[in-house]
A and B are shown apart, each in its own frame.
Chain A
């Protein structure tokens, strides 16, 4: 299995940046005060918004790919999912076998019938778990999670964290997890950073900065 190498070089968007970060196959946590641009950071990484600087995946620059090619490798799970087809199943790749999808949703605690459901039947927490599933089904090399877990109870949260970490280890991918929950970042991430307007700083340094300030 090829190990992911995901590099962010002088990334800018709006008034933010430049950000530099080099990631291997690991889980990176990102925190920051609300409104600082955490979601915009993820959107820039998957090329949904115009941005400056470079993002490089396994030695190849973002600009070498078309938008859709890039986003099938750098998959983002939004904070609140939307659904557009009339059945859940249709949100998974057409070429994917039904058995594979069943197995996948099963690990997330769903019965196979859920695939025939209309999305409107799902609760917020169920939507969030299935939204993770539909992104994982595309097997991205980099997984961007925006506040994944804010709508989940503790049991489901544990399942989701476990599945993300299993996927990360199995496929040797990079996970970038934006969260406001320090405990969660501590639990799941190998390294965590605080997003400031002009830089990313390791969380340990953030707390020492705060201590100095006090």
Chain B
């Protein structure tokens, strides 16, 4: 059931392909060569480091270390959501939207899965906890970032429409009904599409990994189904949570649109 270990030479051959691509890119004047090499080197260092960290983590299974690592992951994901917005939210709230909704979407769903479904001993067994949290954070982050970006952009683009609806006596909920639907859809469409295409167009990464590791395909499929259900639900909860946080933040108690809470767009 063991994976064939990869030698440094094996990896060098694969990395060589990237080098060839970089040379080709310089020849074709694509201006991507440097970026590609830097990204490849970054990835190598980051993954080697996380490999070392995980190895020592799995050896100790100390709760406080797992807690610390998951907090770092959560904060990084929150920061990533903020960075991806074209119209950023002023102050700590901009960061809070990401962290808050990722907490709902990834943390609670992962904890539920660990306690109720996977039932390891201890329940935070890092060999399960960290990969599940990582996959959930990585995937729900995309949905949350897409929805938040769409919402803040739409608030800006449709400021006049929103305010003219308010002028006619509509509540803020009525004035942005279509807009919030658009925001939530934008965040959820990718995972809905991914569920529909899984198995036909793409073999999901986790399943592929398990099959390579020697797990019987049907068992691997079960795990993949589990993670896809969790990701789907997590993305939905996270997107709805982010949209609610943003809309409540951008309207005040007098049903006034407060766009000064967004930063001007970056050039």
Contacts and interface: CB of A to CB of B under 8 A. Distances in A.
Whether A associates with B in a native complex is yes
B169 A48 contact: no
Interface string A72-113: 100111101110100000010000000000000000000000
B226 interface: no
A75 B257 CA distance: 17
Nearest to B160: A82
A50 interface: yes
A82 B169 contact: no
Contact of B165 (A47, A49, A84): A84
5 contacts: A48-B256, A67-B166, A71-B167, A84-B165, A135-B168
A138 B252 CA distance: 24
A136 B79 CA distance: 48
Given A82-B160, A82-B161, A82-B164, A68 B169 contact: yes
B155 to A, nearest CB: 14
B164 A71 contact: no
A134 B170 CA distance: 13
A91 B164 CA distance: 11
Interface of B: 160-161, 163-172, 178, 252, 254-257
A81 B160 CA distance: 8
Contacts of A46: 167
Q: Which of A47, A67, A76, A78 has most chain B Cβ within 10 Å? A: A67
A66 interface: yes
Nearest to A92: B168
Contacts of A67: 166, 171-172, 254-256
A50 B165 contact: no
Contacts of A76: 167
- Kindly state the interface size class of chain A when it binds its partner: 20 to 34
Interface of A: 46-50, 66-69, 71-72, 75-78, 80-82, 84, 91, 134-135, 138
B47 to A, nearest CB: 48
B169 A75 contact: yes
A68 B166 contact: yes
Q: Which of B170, B252, B254 has most chain A Cβ within 10 Å? A: B254
B166 A71 contact: yes
Contacts of A66: 254-255
A72 B168 CA distance: 6
Contact of B256 (A50, A77, A135, A138): A50
Nearest to A77: B167
A82 B162 CA distance: 9
A72 B256 contact: no
Given A75-B167, A138-B168, A68 B161 contact: no
B168 A71 contact: yes
A118 to B, nearest CB: 15
A68 B252 CA distance: 12
A47 B256 CA distance: 8
Given A68-B169, A68-B171, A138-B169, A47 B254 contact: yes
Contacts of B257: 48
B181 to A, nearest CB: 13
Given A66-B255, A67-B256, A68-B255, A48 B161 contact: no
B167 A48 contact: yes
B211 to A, nearest CB: 50
Contacts of B166: 48, 67-68, 71
